[in-house]
Chains A and B, each alone.
Chain A
Amino acid sequence: MTAGAQRSEVKVIGGVPWTRNTRQDLKWVLLFLAPWIIGFVVLTAGPMLWTLYLSFTNYNPISQNVHFIGLDNYERMLRDRHVINSLYNTLFYTVLHVPLSMGIALFLALMLNRIGGRSAGFFRTAFYVPNLTPAVAVGTLFLMLLNGNSGLVNQALGMLGIDGPSWLNDPAWVKPGIIIMSLWTVGNTVVIYFAALKNVPIELYEAARIDGANAWQQFRKVTVPMISGALFFTFIINTIASLQLFTEVYTMFFGQQQGQSSGAGQAALFYVIYLFQQAFGVFRMGYASALAWLLFVVIVIITVIQVRVSRRFVFYEGE
């Protein structure tokens, strides 16, 4: 048998020659990926498929009765005014919070990028430290900061001659108050933008300056395109996180406050909070599963739209 004949027996799969070495490599790859694959199947994909099944049942977690009820849970969602209200609250928050947090994070990252010397490390740390605060603590902290009577936010506004609103009890101001609170954790995005800014080649700015570009033009024509990948990434991630907002708001309006008077009314009922109430408040686990799937579909649709639209704006080096 000739060497040429031996070569012709090697299978090619997906453009890759399937040799003994390739098979050996694949075994190692799978071995190292196994913890993640097992984790994904057991903790993510498996439960997701189970809840898809449960969403067609009236599963009660206490009695553990499971009866197939077809599309009843999905039909119920169409009639449930709390679903519409909580979706509205969540989308309202997302639409305002995501661009605002990205804008503030970008501004802070640009400032950080200009700071040199010893103080640079201090400021980088200072902007990130709030992210280390547990979400429940953030919720509790902002109950005090946003108090309309004695909170620091309204005291600061008072110094400017503004009579601050009731952030916690006026339905019109509850969501803006929550948006203010969520800016507390903008440090995550700042770090990502800061890293992206550090990777923008200095030569591009030099070339722009030689061509007569002013600071705004440099920002618009050099900085933004060069960090567009990071901007896109945070756009997606922040949107998904906003649609899943739970802990801070639950702590502020539904945790210890449960059953007590609150002017927030339905303004603080976010989608995942309603989902949680259905699952663990009234034990409609089947309905809660259907709600979880609706959220999943909403997130997928929004993400697909974002990806499609971003193709026109995101610049990847090397493409």
Chain B
Amino acid sequence: MRRAVPLLVSLVLILAACGPNASNSASPTTGSTVAPPASGSAPAESQAPLTASGDIFAYGFAYETGDIIAKTRADVFKDKYPDVKVTYSESGFDDQKFLAALAGSDKPDAVNLPRNKIGTYIAQGVLEPLDDCIAKTGFDTSVFYDAAKADVTVDGKMYAFPEFYNTRNWIINNKAFKDAGIDPNSLNWGDWDAIAQANQKLVKKDGDKITRIGIDPKIPEFLPLWVKADGGSVMSDDGKTSQLDSQQTIDAVKYTTDLVKAQGDPTKWLDFRNTWDFFGAKNQVASDQVGAWPMEQWYLNVLAQNSPDVDITVKPFMTKDGQPITYEDGNAWAIVKGTDNPDAACALASTMVATDTWVAAAKARAEDAKSKNKPQTGVYTGNRDADKIIFDQYVDLSSMPVFEAAVKAVLDNQENAFGTAPSPGAAGFQTAMTAGVNQVLSGSATPEDAMKAAQQDAQDAIDSAGS
């Protein structure tokens, strides 16, 4: 309690400075052996049982306002562990609120958080390694995609179960390419000069006004992908050394910002992009406002549901060496250190990402989409066994060949992913990288100067995170 006082006090003052701006206790009761626990690679009945009961608080997950995937998985858990009562925070993960929850009397027992933030919490000793949980449940962690698993592993220990698996591929507007006389299938997507030339042909203007963006490199968000494609990395594998001032990073920043500048005034380019109806029927593809851009695969579902007639091609992002590559992220389920009910927290975390749970959720979504006569392009999980069953059995896009081919292209590239190394200074690193790239984009600094300053900030954030 004494250690919590400074946090509460400083929270109050700092929130006050920012202007006018849940749970239940973990109390294990008499346990009961319940239905077989979460499974990794196989159906539940093949796993060792886990005894769990009592109340737990799960932070970073919404049941009431969650979608059918969230609700179904929570219901599966409820069916498997009827003696465990879970209170969900009914919100997404938020650092500030999570800190307050950690300092409160009702500490979370389990947490659902972005994998690119997990390094910070591991370094600070907030999360429990999953060794015991994996041993008790017999969870086969080899079902997880390697990159997703690497995101949550430090010094050989897994600290969380990967949940979703968002990967990036090129989404190509075939109409724009046809207008420009470019065949997206014959363009060498690993040749940056070829991409730059295509960019010039694809961009469309009305006087000074951009009416169609040629290539949107999606920076700073996807800078790590561009750097990787050039053979570098924005951070060391152990997450402890920023490499924002490496030659590959500077080259990637220069190349991608030049792609934008080649299309006109970057400020007007950004203004135009901000007008896109990204989640609507008049999205940038349907309205012919973009040539191509790397994008997470969940966006296919947006396009399929809102503008099913768009003509697109999905191609893998390529390294300069001609190898397919993708950058992944997503959330993960972890157990909070010091929980009074580690077994129930383990049961929840493992069940949420188990093969049978994902399959049940995908089935529910497929049935829901069918009842509403809407297409669905599937659920992309961190569990490759679940993905296989889901896409084999519950995703039928035979009536939408464009999307069928797009989904196939995504699935073919799933194993070529890399993620974010779990870094103690993850948030500070991200802020520094974003600021650096945006400074170049706005013309406030050269790539060399901006990334040198960003490197200093990022390394400072990493170094001080452990203190």
Contact = CB atoms under 8 A, between A and B. Distances in A.
Contacts of B99: 61-62, 280, 283
Contact of A63 (B5, B124, B271): B124
A91 B226 CA distance: 38
A198 to B, nearest CB: 28
B125 A263 contact: no
A283 B427 CA distance: 9
A46 B464 CA distance: 28
Interface stretch (B147-155, B363-371, B389-397, B438-446): B438-446
A169 B267 contact: yes
Interface in A241-273: 241, 244, 246-247, 258-266, 272
B435 interface: yes
A292 B11 CA distance: 12
Contacts, number: 181
Interface in A113-169: 135, 143, 147-150, 166, 168-169
B137 to A, nearest CB: 27
Contact of B221 (A66, A82, A260, A289): A260
Contacts of A285: 6-7, 10, 14
A272 B110 CA distance: 32
A284 to B, nearest CB: 6
Nearest to A42: B12
Contacts of B457: 82
A283 B218 CA distance: 28
A58 B453 CA distance: 23
Chain A interface size band reads: 35 or more
A169 B53 CA distance: 53
Contact of B444 (A47, A244, A265, A283): A265
Given A51-B9, A265-B439, A289-B10, 7 more contacts: A60-B467, A62-B99, A63-B124, A149-B274, A171-B442, A258-B434, A276-B18
Interface of A: 43-44, 46-48, 50-51, 54, 58-67, 81-82, 135, 143, 147-150, 166, 168-171, 241, 244, 246-247, 258-266, 272, 275-277, 279-285, 288-289, 292, 295
Shortest beta-carbon contacts, A-B, top 6 = A148-B271, A166-B267, A62-B124, A50-B9, A282-B428, A149-B271
Interface of B: 3-7, 9-14, 16-21, 95-96, 99, 102-103, 120-121, 124-126, 209, 218-221, 265-268, 270-275, 425, 427-428, 430-431, 434-435, 437-439, 441-442, 444, 453, 457, 461, 464-465, 467
12 contacts: A46-B9, A51-B10, A58-B467, A62-B99, A149-B209, A149-B274, A169-B267, A247-B19, A258-B434, A262-B442, A263-B438, A275-B14
